[in-house]
Amino acid sequence: MNPVVMQLTVRGLLGRRRSLLLVILPALLLGLAGLTRWGSHADVGASAGLVGNFALGTLLPLMCLLIGTGVIGPEIDDGSIVYLLNKPVPRRTILLSKLAVALATTLVFAVLPIAASAAVAGDDHFKLTGAYGLAALLAGIAYTTIFVALSVLTRNAVIIGLLYALLWEGVLGGYVPGVKDVSVRQWALAPAEHLLDAADAAGWGVTSAVSVTVGVTMLAVVVLGAGWIAIGKLKTLRLAAAE
C-alpha cells in the first residue's frame, strides 16, 4: 500500500460530482426502509424483501460499479495515471492501494447502510441485519474488485459493468436457475443463509442456490482472479497518447 496513491485516489473519488450518488443512493435506501417499517409494521418478511431484492440485487452492484470504476478508470481515460506510473512504485502497489480505497468506500457507503436498512425496516434481534450485512460485505468485496479490474481492462467498463450488474446479477441471477449458480449475489447469500436458523432463512427468503463451500470458494476465486488480472494489465498498460 502507498499512502500517497491512496490519498490521491480518495480526492479523485470523492471530489467528482458523481460522488454525490454515493450519498444519495444509501439515503434513498434508508428512506425506503423507514417507509417499509411504517407500512408493514416492522414485519421481518417485508424487510427481507426490500433488502434482499432492492438493496442486494440492484443497489449494491450499482454502488460498487460507481466506486470500482471511479478509483482508477477516469485516470486511465484522461491519461493522468501517468503521474502514478512514472514513479519507482511497483504497479502492484498502485493497484492494491486503489483497491483498498475502493473497498473501504464500499464498506462505508454500501455495506453498512444495507445492514442498517434491514435493522430499520424490521428485524428480529438483528438476525436479518447480521445475515444481510455479511452477504453485502462479501458481495461488495467481489463486485468492487471485479469493477476495478474491469476499468483497468477496458475503457467501456461503466457500460459493461452496468449491463452485468443490472442484467446478469439483477435479473438473471435472481430468477434464471442456471445463471444463479454463477452469480456473486447467490455466492454471498450462501454464508448468510447458513448464519440463520433454517426456519428463519426459509421464512424470510434468505436462500442461496449454492452451498456455503461453493459460495465462499467462488467468491475467493473471483476476487483473487480479478485482482491478479488487474495487476497484470496495469503492468503493461498502454496509455492513450501512445496509440
Partner 1 sequence: MSAIVLDKVSRWYGNVVAVNDVTMTIGPGITGLLGPNGAGKSTLISMMGGFLAPSAGTVALDGGHVWKNPEIYRQVGLVPEAEAMYDMVTGAQFLLANARLHGLPDPGAAAQRALELVDMVEPSDRAIATYSKGMKQRIKMATALVHDPAVLLLDEPFNGMDPRQRLHLMDLLRRLAAEGRTVLFSSHILEEVEQIADHIEVLVAGRHAASGDYRRIRRLMTERPHQYSITSSDDRRLAAALVAEGAADGVTLTDGTLAIQTSDFGRFVHALPRLAHASGVRLLDVSPADESLESVFAYLVAR
Q: Which residues bind partner 1 (CB under 8 A)?
A: 2, 4-5, 7-8, 11-12, 15, 78-80, 82-91, 235-243
Closer Cβ to partner 1, 7 or 211, answer by number = 7
Q: To the nearest whole angstrom, how small is the minimum distance from the Cβ of residue 232 to partner 1?
A: 11
In the complex, the smallest distance separating the C-beta of residue 83 from partner 1, rounded to whole angstroms, is 6
Report d(CA 137, CA 129) in Å as an integer: 12
Smallest distance, Å, CB 66 to partner 1? 17
Task: Compare residues 86 and 178 and give the one whose CB is closer to partner 1.
Answer: 86
Q: What is the C-alpha to C-alpha distance for residues 150 and 157, in angstroms, rounded to an integer? A: 5
Compare residues 182 and 229 and give the one whose CB is closer to partner 1: 229
Shortest gap between Cβ of 138 and partner 1 (angstroms)? 32
What values do phi and psi take at 182, rounded to 5?
-115, 50
Query: 18 or 235, CB closer to partner 1?
Result: 235
- Least Å distance, CB 157 to partner 1, is 18
**Taken in order 113, 114, 119, 122, is the CA torsion positive or negative?**
positive
Q: Which is nearer to partner 1, 12 or 61 (CB)?
A: 12
- Note whether 68 and 143 are within 8 A (CB): yes
End-to-end CA distance of the chain: 30
Which lies closer to partner 1 via its Cβ, residue 117 or residue 151?
151
Q: What share of the chain is helix, strand, coil (3-state, %, to 5)?
A: 85, 0, 15
| DSSP track, 175-227 | H-HHHHTT-HHHHHHHHHHHHS-HHHHHHHT---SS-HHHHHHHHHHHHHHHH
**Taking a C-beta distance cutoff of 8 angstroms, is the pair 60, 139 a contact?**
yes
Smallest distance from the beta carbon of 243 to partner 1, in angstroms? 7
